[in-house]
Amino acid sequence: MASEKILGIDLGTTNSCISIMEGGKAVVIPNAEGGRTTPSVVAFSKDGERLVGSVAKRQSITNPAKTISSIKRDMGTDRKVAIDDKTYTPQEISAMILQKLKTDAEAYLGEKISKAVITVPAYFNDAQRQATKDAGKIAGLEVMRIINEPTASALAYGIDKEEDVTVLVYDLGGGTFDVSILTLGDGVFEVQATAGDNHLGGDDFDQRVLDYLVEEFKKKEGISLKNDIMAMQRLRDAAENAKKELSTVQKTNINLPYITTDSSGPKFLDIDLTRAKFEQLIEDLVDKTIGPVKQALDDAGIKAAGIDHVLLVGGSTRVPMVQEKIKAILHKDADKGINPDECVAIGAAIQGGVLSGEAKDVVLLDVTPLTLSIETLGGIATKLIERNTTIPTRKSQIFTTAADNQTSVEIHVIQGERALAKDNFTLGKFQLTGIPPAPRGIPQIEVGFDIDANGIINVSAKDLGSGNEQAITISGNKRLSEKEIEEMVNKAKQYEEEDKQNREEIEIRNTADTAVFSAEKLLRESSDKVSEDEKKKIEDAAEEVKKALESDDTEAIKTATESLTEAVYAVTVKLYQEAAAKAQAEGGAEPTSTSASEDDVVDAEYEVKDDEKKE
């Protein structure tokens, strides 16, 4: 097993984040308060207590002289922070943040942490790096490595597994902006250029929205809210929320009832903010990031076309306009999928995993690219192993026959996402014969899928009654190329609605068919207990269903099936009551099973009973 775990730490200017490898994957560790990031703020309360994180941030206004934020800006300098009669170096203050992160990680993991990988901006000089390392030491952490933040992001995206690529990392946080260009060669990331703006970030976006709201309110009501602490606080929160919302919607409403009162009564703030307006408000700020991007490209001597990957880091990169502007200069979509607030810490944890040897312990397991199914009654593809299941894995389900005295079933193994077997890709087919004659629904045929680590699929079918067994092996050469897989997945999406409808229609037909079968069985088996009148009713209803089944009218089939089920139900209830009276328990349970398949969502386990395999 791996040696001691190594904590990945993104020690940020405004916020910090920690992550660790767990079972081969980097996971973010929430802090003691439940937050996934921790404000990089330290304070000393009046009674000398040390506060770190949100608590420190919340009291800062009452205690500005003894609250320290953005200490990262002072790392590597001789600047000291004087608190009461003591002075602290930036390393010592940073250490207090690290200490809290360490403690929170230990509480979460239930084990001691003594090693860490800490990230720093790519432009940090030796003194700044050394100071960061020292901060770790003071906090009781052995800093196994200091890595660059953009490198950590590249690791989080797994870019280190590629060869000779150029990566541009655009990191727009709450209060800082960095752009870095890295090249990867021989497994080593090299920083080619960095640029940025030390005082630009999402907080500036919030301020713009806030100013706009204050101005709009003044225009409408003639009241300035600037000096109204309470109103400004509510507005500040609302502005931030509006900004976040506009990343996903085109328009949001800022609604603050009773924002203030004047002689004429209470005033309400109710302002719509469109994404377009928001973009107008922040455009110059976003444009300010473009200069550094171009600068970095120039410094690195790389043309926009030479960038292979664009990584967006920092919460503010969620703003669509930011993404659009970057795309406009680089003509490339950014890689997606990792939370931009957590990306750096995740990369640090991955580096930690490599250093601790945990990465070596992790076997790289494949996933099944497409769903594996077998064809069941009516040509439906019944899923056994869903796509993206990690292999090796096995799964089995019990199926049954679709007709009386059916002595063989065909197992048609298919791959793909479509609802009907015919629209998927056939992997193989085989017959299971020698099933002893029995009424439909009675034989139990266990179909098992087993995919080994190499992707070789073994499909077996066993008649549990006779013990007869058949199997085939589908080897890798039948496998599809990546492009084919993508096409199939896309097609499945495209035909989703149609497929669903087809499947429903088939299911309705199957249900109708089963209902008729059950009704006839009931009449056959309980003819002596059913009155002529009841018998006629059921027979007529069954006839209706059969007639409907000849047509394509699904609604008619459904209605006819319902009336048949009702007629059968009336009789079975009576039979049960009589049976109960006679304390004689046997038969009759069948008809109710037809109603089970009327539910659209059926547990796979149940579905099996209804889904019957026709030869």
Partner 1 sequence: MTKEENTANGPGRQESDISIKSQAEQNSGRDLAEEVPSPAELETLRTEYAVLQDRYLRLAADFENYRRRMAREVSEQSSRAIEEFAVEILDIVDNMERALTIEDTQNIKEGLEQIYKLLSNVLNRYEITPVECVDKPFDPETQEAIAYVPSEKDEGTVIDEVVKGYRMKERVIRCARVAVSQGKSKEE
By CB under 8 A, is residue 274 in contact with partner 1?
no
Three-state DSSP string of 217-232:
HHHHHCCCCCCCHHHH
Are residues 601 and 390 in contact, defined by beta-carbon separation less than 8 angstroms?
A: no
CB of 366 to partner 1, least distance (A): 9
By CB under 8 A, is residue 603 in contact with partner 1?
no
What is the x/- site pattern for partner 1, positions 192-211, by CB under 8 A?
Answer: xx------------------
User: Which one of residues 20, 28, 56, 141 is an interface residue with partner 1 (CB under 8 A)?
Assistant: 56
By CB under 8 A, is residue 612 in contact with partner 1?
no
By CB under 8 A, is residue 55 in contact with partner 1?
yes
Q: Single out the segment in contact with partner 1 by CB under 8 A; choices: 11-19, 52-60, 375-383, 536-544.
A: 52-60
By CB under 8 A, is residue 187 in contact with partner 1?
yes
Q: Single out the segment in contact with partner 1 by CB under 8 A; choices: 201-209, 227-235, 371-379, 428-436.
A: 227-235
Task: Please give the backbone phi and psi of residue 307, each rounded to the nearest 5 degrees, phi first.
Answer: -85, 125
What is the x/- site pattern for partner 1, positions 356-375, by CB under 8 A?
Answer: ---xx--x-x----------
CB of 535 to partner 1, least distance (A): 47
Q: Single out the segment in contact with partner 1 by CB under 8 A; choices: 305-313, 327-335, 348-356, 601-609.
A: 348-356
User: Which one of residues 40, 89, 91, 151 is an interface residue with partner 1 (CB under 8 A)?
Assistant: 151
User: Which one of residues 392, 437, 439, 465 is an interface residue with partner 1 (CB under 8 A)?
Assistant: 392
Nearer to partner 1, 269 or 391 (CB): 391
Nearer to partner 1, 392 or 437 (CB): 392
Q: Single out the segment in contact with partner 1 by CB under 8 A; choices: 290-298, 386-394, 493-501, 571-579.
A: 386-394
* H helix runs in 436-495, sequence order: 482-494
d(CA 68, CA 13): 11
User: What does the DSSP assignment read for 254-307?
Assistant: EEEEEEEEETTEEEEEEEEEEHHHHHHHHHHHHHHHHHHHHHHHHHHT--GGG-
Nearer to partner 1, 407 or 458 (CB): 458
By CB under 8 A, is residue 40 in contact with partner 1?
no
By CB under 8 A, is residue 190 in contact with partner 1?
yes
By CB under 8 A, is residue 248 in contact with partner 1?
no
CB of 230 to partner 1, least distance (A): 4
Nearer to partner 1, 88 or 189 (CB): 189
By CB under 8 A, is residue 154 in contact with partner 1?
yes
User: Which one of residues 68, 118, 155, 319 is an interface residue with partner 1 (CB under 8 A)?
Assistant: 155
By CB under 8 A, is residue 544 in contact with partner 1?
no
Element (H, E) at 180: strand 177-185
Q: Which residues are annotated as catalytic?
A: 10, 72, 149, 171
Nearer to partner 1, 394 or 535 (CB): 394
Backbone CA torsion sign across 431, 432, 435, 440: negative
- For residue 66, what are the contacts with CB-CB under 8 A and spacing of at least 6? 43, 44, 45, 83, 84
User: Beta 142-148 vs 115-120: how paired, if at all?
Assistant: parallel
Nearer to partner 1, 27 or 403 (CB): 27
By CB under 8 A, is residue 351 in contact with partner 1?
yes
Q: Which of residues 86-145 bind partner 1 (CB under 8 A)?
A: 122, 145
- For residue 49, what are the contacts with CB-CB under 8 A and spacing of at least 6? none
Q: Please give the DSSP secondary-structure letter assigned to residue 244.
A: H
User: Which one of residues 32, 60, 80, 505 is an interface residue with partner 1 (CB under 8 A)?
Assistant: 60
d(CA 80, CA 89): 5
Three-class secondary structure of residue 558 per DSSP? helix
User: What does the DSSP assignment read for 193-215?
Assistant: EEEEETT-SHHHHHHHHHHHHHH
Backbone CA torsion sign across 507, 499, 614, 385: negative
CB of 281 to partner 1, least distance (A): 24
Q: Single out the segment in contact with partner 1 by CB under 8 A; choices: 248-256, 383-391, 494-502, 558-566.
A: 383-391
Cα separation values, 596 from 261, 509, 523, 612, Å: 61, 14, 21, 14
Q: Which two tokens stand for residue 508?
A: 């309705």
By CB under 8 A, is residue 540 in contact with partner 1?
no
By CB under 8 A, is residue 46 in contact with partner 1?
yes
* H helix runs in 333-462, sequence order: 343-356, 358-361
Are residues 563 and 544 in contact, defined by beta-carbon separation less than 8 angstroms?
A: yes
Nearer to partner 1, 235 or 522 (CB): 235
User: Which one of residues 15, 148, 371, 510 is an interface residue with partner 1 (CB under 8 A)?
Assistant: 148
> Amino acid identity of 119?
T
Backbone CA torsion sign across 29, 33, 39, 45: negative
User: Beta 25-28 vs 15-22: how paired, if at all?
Assistant: antiparallel
Three-class secondary structure of residue 186 per DSSP? coil
Three-class secondary structure of residue 39 per DSSP? strand
The residues that touch partner 1, with contacts defined as CB under 8 A, are 23-25, 34, 46, 51, 55-62, 122, 145-148, 151, 154-155, 160-161, 186-193, 229-230, 233-234, 350-351, 354, 359-360, 363, 365, 388-394, 452-453
